[in-house]
Structure formats: C-alpha cells, structure tokens
Structure 1
Amino acid sequence: MKKHDPVSRRQWFERMAIPAVALAGASLTGIPAVAAPAHTNDKATPLAGTSIYDIRDFGAKGDGQTLNTTAIQAAIDDCHQKQGGTVLIPAGDFICGTIEMKSGVTLHVATNGRLLGSKRREDYTAGKGVPSGNGNIVFIYAANAENITVEGNGTIDGNGLSFYNGKGDNTGPGQRGVGGNFDRPHLLIFSQCTRFQVKDVLLTNSAYHCFRILKCKHVQLHNIRIYNRVNKNNDGFHFNDTQYVHISGCDVQCQDDACALFGSNQFVTITNCSFSTRWSIFRFGGGEAQNITVSNCLIYDTYGCPVKISSGRARIENLSFSNIIMRNVTGPIGIGFTGSSNNPNNNNPAADTVPSFVRNISFNNIRATVVEKPVNHPDIHFGVNVFNGELNSCITLNGVGKVFLENISLTDVHVIYAGGGTKEQAAKRQVPELSAEYFGVWGTEPFGPPAYGLYARNVKGLTLQNVRFTYEKADARPAVIFDNVQDAIVTGLSAQGSPETELLRLVNSKDILFTAIRVLTPAATLLQVEGAATENIKIDGGDISKAAKPLAVEKGANKKAVTIRS
C-alpha cells in the first residue's frame, strides 16, 4: 500500500494559491510540492502538529462496503505519533468498527463524509481504559487523552437500528439493570480526558447512548446536532463526574435522557440549545452536582419531565435554569430527595452520616405548556409505556422524611396545564414518601398529584414571584399545595381556581407570607389550612374576590394561625 507524505496546513494554503488550471484533477494529497519543500514532520520543525492525514492514503475506501477500521486507526496512530494534526474523513461512506482517538488528534469529518458503524457486533470492542458501568462497547472513544477535537459538517452514524432487539438496559425505576441489554456499542465515549472539543458534526443512530463523557475536564461542545431515536436508551449527552463543561448551539432529538448529569458534575454551562425526547432533558442523580447554569433553551415534545432531580444521598447546589421555553411537556420540574442511600445493597451505612443537601436552585423566566399525558413520537419506531403518575402532572418539590430542600425559587414562571384533574386526586392526603422520579411518586391511586400547579413538601426557604398557573379545561385540584413548608414568600401568584375545592392548601406549614394574590376564576375557598403544626400564615393584599370564602380550617389546624388582609 502506497502512502503519501502528510500535507501540512501551510503547504495546503501555499498550494491552493497555484492557478486553478494547474490543480485540475489533482487530489489534496497528490499535489506535488511547488512553493515550498515537502515538510518531513521532524519534531524540530515549527509546523509539527499541523499536518493533514487523509484516511484514503492509509487504504480507506468510502464505498459503503469496505471495513475501514484498520486504515482509520492507522491514520490516527500516525497523526498521534508525529505530534498531532488532522485526520481527514473525506466525502464518502466509510464503514468501520471500534476506533480509538488519541492525544493531539483532530478528526475532521468533511461535508458529505460519513463514518458509518459496522452492522456486525464482532467489529466492536470495549474501550481500553473505559469503565464498564452502563456498558463500554463503543464505536469511537478516547481514554486518558488530551487535546482532542472532533469536528466538521459530516456525520458519525452508529447504524444502531442493526442492534435493536426490543430490550433496553433495564436501568429505569425499580429495574436496577437486571436482565438488561448492555452488549451494544455507544457512539462516542470520552473517559478521563482533558481539553477536548466536539463541534458542528451530526451524531446519529447510536445503538446505545450517543455521547458518554466520564470524569473529564475542560470540555467544549458546540453546534452539534444529535438525532438518536432508533434504539432503547438512546441518550443524547450523558455526563458522569465531569468538570468545566461548556455546551452551546446544540440541537438534540433523542429517545432517552437528552442531557443526563449523573454524579459530581461541576462548573457546567448550557446555553442556546434545543431539546426533545421521550424521557427527560436535564437529569440529575447523586454525587456533587454543583455550579451549573442552563439558559436560553427551547424544550419541546418532552415527557418524563424536562428538569428532573431524583436522589438519595447527594450534595446538589447552585443550579440555575433561566430563559427557557417548554412546549408540550409533562412535569415540567421534578425534584425528589431523601438524604439517605437509595441502594438496598449499601454496605457502608457510615456514609449516610456525611451531610447531604439539595439547595440553592433557581428557575427564572420559564414559559411552559404541560400536556395531559405523554404522546409517542412518530419517529420512534417502538411504543413507550405511559406511567400512571405521568397523568395530570405538575411541578413537584419533594423532600422526604426529615430532610428538606433548601432555598428554591421560581421567578417569572408561567405554566399552562392541560387540566382535567379530578376531585379524587384533590382529596389525596397521604403522598408516598419516595424520592423516585416524579411519576413514581404519583403512580398510586388515584393517579396524578393532588395539585395541578405546584406540590411542595419539606422545603425551607421557598420563593415564588410572578408565578402564573392556568389550565385549558376545568381542573378540580388546588393550584398549590405546601406540605411541611417553612419560611416561604409568595408574591404575585395568579392562578385559576375550582368551584369544587380550595385554591391554596397548606399542611403543617409555617412562616408563610402571601402578597398580591390573584384568583383568576371562581374557587370554593382561597386557603385551606390543615394540621396542628400550621402557624404564622399571612395573606396581604391582592384580588381574592372570586373565592367564595377566604379560609377553611381542617384536621386540627388553628384559625388563629392565619391572618388575611385584603
């Protein structure tokens, strides 16, 4: 096999200056050196690390039939050994199995170029140095590497439909992976890598997760399109224990979690992106998820809750979600927290003595429309079951047992709900003490939460400012329920009521101030308080004229605990 000398970027620009007629019919790597002597890639050369390695010069064929794994890996290895450069995937369909990216290498997938995963399982291996959790069979990976780039306007296609057998990995609620399908390739995995970026490419059709990023630092992900809906557990981005991440301008359409952030992800910004999936967008669980901002994003046709935090032991703080539009979602926000291990096989009970918390989380300028129940996406070829608790969903802030969520704020949040909640749902008083995903909490009879707008339990330091809850068809549930909420201020709440029930229900809550409430449609009662622990509730000002009566006292509450001044 004849190999051409790699071409440096400087040589490329010099040769492009040759009159076009002289270049007619010549390939990039076949042009003879004219303006400068050939670059030898010697380490002493100042142009080291700038060369271009065309995979065709290593024997690759873009005919959609040839298996090119060896050729592409040879180009990457040569580029890495010679102090880095650019490995070029030109136009064509280049089939391959597992390939390993290495330090200093830029993989450039040209317009009309496609890396296409083999349909054969035997062409894939586990990534060397990649942990086995959630599988480590992979198409493209890097481990313990640095200064890597994947770029270009081309496509990386995992051919994932070829691996569909109807089975997922069974890591959903209560399944714990038993009997799960893990023997299928992820599209990309970067493990313990530093300073890498992926930009502009289309990542599509993975057999498993699209992009796993594990214990990495200094990650840049920009202008990526992910279209991943051919198999079960088709996540978009999936992060574990990663720091200093910046995501912008991405468009993600997938089947499972669009941007999962498990474990100790820190110093993360996500902005100017759009997302759609069957399950969840921003999914948090366990670890130390801290110092994360999400802004200027569009979420549409997403079920299973766009923002979902479900954890036992965790140290989650300083999360900000702002300027977000949610169109046709369920949820739309769910936080569940127990403060103790959710793992029944936990062999280290002493770990439960380490303080855990979920605190300092803000939601600002959110506009959402919430549908009655999930709807199958027409481009997902297999049906997805609907959980009972997904019906008539609401915002859920759910501290369990003796633990509290702390310092949660919703500011300028306007939600339009489908409505349709029943008196049976409204009558629910005993809510399961589960930190499961929100639909697990509400998955008992009667279906759905007892409030249509916001249900908050065990929250300290809750702020609602300029919050508006409305529904499209009549709903018999209260707009807001506080259960064991302490130190809350609600300013400028506007909500539709029901002639059958109260607008607000407070259970064993204290030190709550409501100002400038507006009751938008007739309600049986403005406020119902329950429980002997209820104290120091004040309502000051607003328009409550559409409430038939201002106050109802039930289940041992004291009328003197409430002061209402209209």
Structure 2
Amino acid sequence: MSIYNIEDFNAVADGQTVNTVHIQAAVDAAYQAGGGTVRVPTGQFVTGTIHLKENVCIELAHGSTILGSTNIADYPQVDLPEYKSQKATGPQCALFYAEKADNIALTGTGTIDGRGDSFPTQGTDLEMRPRNIQFVSCNRVKVSGLTLRNSGMWMQHYNNCEDVLIENLNVYNHANANNDMIDIDSCRRVVVNNITGDTDDDGITIKSTGPAPCKDVAITNCVVHAHCNAIKIGTETTAHFENITLSNITISRSRNEKVHFGLENGISGISLEMVDGGVIDGITMDNINMDGVEVPIFIRIGARGRPYYTGIPRPGIGQIKRVSLSNIMIRNAGITGSSITGQPGFPIEDIYMSNIRFFTQGGVTEMPERHVDDMPLEYPEGTMFGTLPAAGMYIKHAKDIYMNGITVSADADDVRPAFYVESVDTLRINELNLKRVAQAVMECEACNSNKSVHEI
C-alpha cells in the first residue's frame, strides 16, 4: 500500500492553519488508489471533520498532533446514517467520521486532541458537539497506539460496527459534559485491550441505542479513572447484550477534580442497567480492582422504555440474567451500598458472585428506610435510592442469586446488615465474612411468603 504524506497535499504544521481540505485530499487519494496509509508527520495540524474511507489507514507519527478546530463551522453536520438509532435522530458531527467504510484504521503514536472545551454545553445539544471518533456500520476497524484527548462529547463511539480492535490507547477526556472514554454501541466481535483512561463521564460503556445486538465483546487490561461509572452496560438498552467478557480492570478516582457529571470519587465501579426493553444475558467480569467509588456494584432493571427512533413502539420491560462476577476487590467504598433491583414480575435472575470483598467506609448510625421504592421510570444510577439499608448489598425483585466467598467489612461500626433482601426467591451465600456490620442478612418482614432461602 502506498504512503500519502499530508504535507505533500499542502497541510501546514503550524498549529493554526485549518488543514481539513488538505488532509481529506490525502484520504481521498488513498481511497481512489484502492487503499493506502495517510501519514501525519511530526507537528501540530489543525483540522475539522475528516471522513475516513474504505481501505484507508491514518497513521500519526511520533510527535504528531491532530488539533480539532475550535470553530464549529469546520464540523459540518453529517447526513443521518442508514442505521437508525437513538443516537442518530438529529444533527451530529465528529472530528474523524466514517459510515459503511470497511477496513479502516487510526494508528500510530501521535495525539488527537479535540479541544472540546471550545464547544460549551447548551441544553440538550449532545450531537452538536463533535466526538473525536465516530464510526457507524463499519467492518474491520482498528484504532491503536494513540493518545486521545479532550473531545467535545464522547471520545470514541463505535455504532453497529463489526470486527473491531481497539488497543494501546491513552485517553484523557475532561473538556466538556458527556465526556465518556469509549462507547461500544450495538457492535459485534470487539476486542478492547490495554486502555488507560481518565474521563469525566463514564469509562468503558457498552450500549445498544438501536436494534442491533451488542455481542461477542472481550475487554481486558484496562485502567479506568471516572467521575461517573467506570464499567457500564447501559444506559440505552434497546437490543440484546450477549457473550461479553471483561477482565483485569483497575478502577480508581479521576486525577481531575473538576466535575461536569458524577462525583469526584466516581459513582459506580460496575453498573449493569436494562431500562429500554432489551436483554442482558451472558456477562462475565473477572479480576476487577476498584478503589474509592461510591457504589461498587449496581445491577438494575427499569421500565423507562425509550423507543430508539421516531415512530417505533415503546419497548416493554427487559431482562438481566446469567451474570458472573468474580475476584473483585473493593476498597474505600462510599456509604450508599451496592444493589441488585428488578421490577415486580420482572426479577433479575441467575447472578453468581464469587470472591467479592467489600471494604466500605461504614459508620451509618441510624437504619435507613427499609422499603426502597422501585422507581421504574427514573434514570438508572447507582445513587438513585440514596443510602441503602445494607452495608454490602440491597437485593429486591430477584431470583437465584448465588454468592460464594463474600467479605463485608466496614471501617466504622455500621447499624446495617451486610445484605438486605426484599422479594427475593433463592439467595444462597456461602463463606460470608463480616466486620463491624450489624448482622449477615436481614429480610423484609413483608417478604416471608416469597420463599427466600438463605444458606450461610
């Protein structure tokens, strides 16, 4: 494949000249030749939207920087993609954009800096602020080796893509609201490896904003600092999530004290949220180490039922089942507590938790309200219930919950039990270790007829 140096197409590395037409000309030349590599040499190159095309790789040399233009006019609104989703209902723009382009890549050791603080948040303008990377309905995608900084909105959004490799990235995203680290949306066959990220909003986010499933995803060896949710499946959950594995993830507070969304220490470590009618089935998370988050684990079925596109019927209540969480170390958790909460008639099913160690702040001196409202229509967030009546985990509307080798230890004496259960059918806990909490399991008095089973 031929090399197309953007300086040969009159791009200027002065950090001021807007080089959109010159960089796009290099991409177009590579595409018209049947494919090639567009090279960004050392220096600072300012640009607006670049449309990546089939069989083209953009390679950023060591010491090179792509600077996003600070003029929104340099990000013309793209046509709405053929794939219909909740994130493609109105105007949208990106620094690097591709639709239905196969065999594309962004690689190298350079930097892409979106300078997203140039686009102040105004109401519900989510799609009017540029992402750094947005690929829709693309196959054989590779993003590797780069430093990604300061997007106007989400840092990188892969929507309805297949055969995606994302590896060896360093991400820092604290320029604006909605500054997620990575959003994998309705994609199939995705590998994410060796990502270090610090982000204002969510970290590793898996969504389905449209009708296509998100399945066959493997994510490993990542470090996540986030003000919101470090690992999240949701919030948009139109379609199914299947065969997804996350392993070897380290989670801790952001290095940036300024918070657009969330909490300084982060809202949650792990959130699984099914609120728009889909199904979460077959999720495995192993070897997760988290420090300082307010809510370590949040598993939630809601009934928001948001249609993914205009004219689509409102979806019903979805499902969460067959989830395995193992080898999770939780230190310095906040006082809120973790939770597993379904809805009446729609229990969360078949959750297996092994070798989970909750080390919490504790210190709650008065028992919180024991009956927690179901709040089916509310936005799902780990802190939505306030302080829960359990130092470890509150469980409601669930069945077949199995736990083995669980530790709940509070730094200060806590009047709450380790677990509080309500409307739970079959809860089994083996090898439970407690410190400075009131008791092991407390069951809602109104639930005696629900055939809950506790084996400790």
| 3-state secondary structure, aligned to 2:328 | strand
Hey, what's the Cα distance between the residues in 1 that align with 2:453 and 2:288?
32
Hey, what's the Cα distance between the residues in 2 that align with 1:125 and 1:217?
26
Deviates more, 1:362-371 or 1:265-274: 362-371
Hey, what's the Cα distance between the residues in 1 that align with 2:385 and 2:389?
9
1:201 paired with 2:138, answer: no
Alignment partner, residue 320 of structure 2: 358
Q: Contact 1:92–1:114 (CA<8 Å) still a contact in 2?
A: yes
C-alpha distance after superposition, 1:183-223 (max 9, x if no partner): 22111100000001000001111111110111111100010
1:160 corresponds, among 88, 100, 116, to: 116
Hey, what's the Cα distance between the residues in 2 that align with 1:348 and 1:94?
43
| 3-state secondary structure, aligned to 1:290 | strand
C-alpha distance after superposition, 1:505-564 (max 9, x if no partner): 023xxxxxxxxxxxxxxxxxxxxx654415574656xxxxxxxxxxxxxxxxxxxxxxxx
Deviates more, 1:431-440 or 1:213-222: 431-440
| 3-state secondary structure, aligned to 1:63 | coil
Considering only CA atoms, is the larger Rg found in Structure 1 or Structure 2? 1
Alignment partner, residue 82 of structure 1: 33
Q: Which amino acid aligns with 1:364?
A: S
Alignment partner, residue 449 of structure 2: 533
Hey, what's the Cα distance between the residues in 1 that align with 2:67 and 2:311?
44
Cα 1:227/1:399, change in 2 over 3 Å: same
TM-score (norm 2): 0.89
Q: Which amino acid aligns with 1:137?
A: C
Q: Which amino acid aligns with 2:342?
A: G
Cα 1:539/1:228, change in 2 over 3 Å: closer
Hey, what's the Cα distance between the residues in 2 that align with 1:536 and 1:397?
15
Q: Contact 2:300–2:342 (CA<8 Å) still a contact in 1?
A: yes
Cα 1:538/1:190, change in 2 over 3 Å: closer
1:123 paired with 2:74, answer: yes
Alignment partner, residue 42 of structure 1: none
Q: Which amino acid aligns with 1:326?
A: M
| 3-state secondary structure, aligned to 2:21 | helix
2:375 corresponds, among 434, 442, 448, to: 434
Q: Which amino acid aligns with 2:325?
A: F
Alignment partner, residue 504 of structure 1: 441
1:296 paired with 2:248, answer: yes
| 3-state secondary structure, aligned to 1:262 | strand
Any residues of structure 2 matched to 1:65-214 within 5 Å, and which?
65-130=16-81, 132-133=88-89, 136-165=92-121, 167=122, 179-180=124-125, 182-214=127-159
Q: Contact 1:129–1:144 (CA<8 Å) still a contact in 2?
A: no
1:419 paired with 2:362, answer: yes
| 3-state secondary structure, aligned to 1:296 | strand
Q: Contact 1:339–1:403 (CA<8 Å) still a contact in 2?
A: no
Q: Contact 1:432–1:441 (CA<8 Å) still a contact in 2?
A: no
2:349 corresponds, among 398, 406, 411, to: 406
More strand by share: 2
1:457 corresponds, among 391, 396, 403, to: 396
Hey, what's the Cα distance between the residues in 2 that align with 1:218 and 1:407?
30
Q: Which amino acid aligns with 1:154?
A: G
Cα 1:215/1:534, change in 2 over 3 Å: closer
C-alpha distance after superposition, 1:403-447 (max 9, x if no partner): 11111011001110011223241xx1221112542445414xxxx
Hey, what's the Cα distance between the residues in 2 that align with 1:288 and 1:531?
31
Alignment partner, residue 320 of structure 1: 284
Query: How far has the Cα of 1:371 moved from its partner?
Result: 3.6
Q: Contact 1:497–1:503 (CA<8 Å) still a contact in 2?
A: no
Alignment partner, residue 249 of structure 1: 194
Cα 1:133/1:367, change in 2 over 3 Å: farther
Query: How far has the Cα of 1:340 moved from its partner?
Result: 7.1
Hey, what's the Cα distance between the residues in 1 that align with 2:45 and 2:390?
54
Q: Which amino acid aligns with 1:442?
A: F
Hey, what's the Cα distance between the residues in 1 that align with 2:308 and 2:22?
48
Query: How far has the Cα of 1:455 moved from its partner?
Result: 0.7
Hey, what's the Cα distance between the residues in 2 that align with 1:278 and 1:70?
37
Q: Contact 1:300–1:329 (CA<8 Å) still a contact in 2?
A: yes
Cα 1:505/1:349, change in 2 over 3 Å: farther
Cα 1:65/1:452, change in 2 over 3 Å: same
Alignment partner, residue 384 of structure 1: none
Q: Which amino acid aligns with 1:248?
A: N
Q: Contact 1:55–1:89 (CA<8 Å) still a contact in 2?
A: yes
Hey, what's the Cα distance between the residues in 1 that align with 2:93 and 2:44?
22
Cα 1:105/1:180, change in 2 over 3 Å: closer
Query: How far has the Cα of 1:126 moved from its partner?
Result: 2.1
Cα 1:240/1:134, change in 2 over 3 Å: farther
Give the unaligned 5+ runs of structure 1: 1-49, 170-178, 373-391, 508-528, 541-566
Cα 1:118/1:465, change in 2 over 3 Å: same
**Higher relative contact order (CA closer than 8 Å, sequence separation 6+):** 2
Q: Alignment RMSD, CA only?
A: 2.3
2:174 corresponds, among 229, 236, 261, to: 229
| 3-state secondary structure, aligned to 2:22 | helix
| 3-state secondary structure, aligned to 1:360 | strand
Q: Which amino acid aligns with 1:414?
A: R
1:336 corresponds, among 284, 287, 300, to: 300
TM-score (norm 1): 0.72
Q: Contact 2:306–2:315 (CA<8 Å) still a contact in 1?
A: no
Cα 1:239/1:70, change in 2 over 3 Å: same
1:306 paired with 2:244, answer: no
Hey, what's the Cα distance between the residues in 1 that align with 2:106 and 2:451?
59
Hey, what's the Cα distance between the residues in 2 that align with 1:243 and 1:334?
25
Hey, what's the Cα distance between the residues in 2 that align with 1:531 and 1:473?
30
| 3-state secondary structure, aligned to 2:295 | coil
C-alpha distance after superposition, 1:150-207 (max 9, x if no partner): 1011001101122235x4x6xxxxxxxxx44542211110000000100000111111
Q: Which amino acid aligns with 1:453?
A: G
Identity rate of aligned residues, in percent?
27
Hey, what's the Cα distance between the residues in 2 that align with 1:346 and 1:497?
52
Hey, what's the Cα distance between the residues in 1 that align with 2:129 and 2:64?
24
Hey, what's the Cα distance between the residues in 1 that align with 2:35 and 2:242?
34
Q: Contact 1:466–1:492 (CA<8 Å) still a contact in 2?
A: yes
Hey, what's the Cα distance between the residues in 1 that align with 2:290 and 2:363?
20
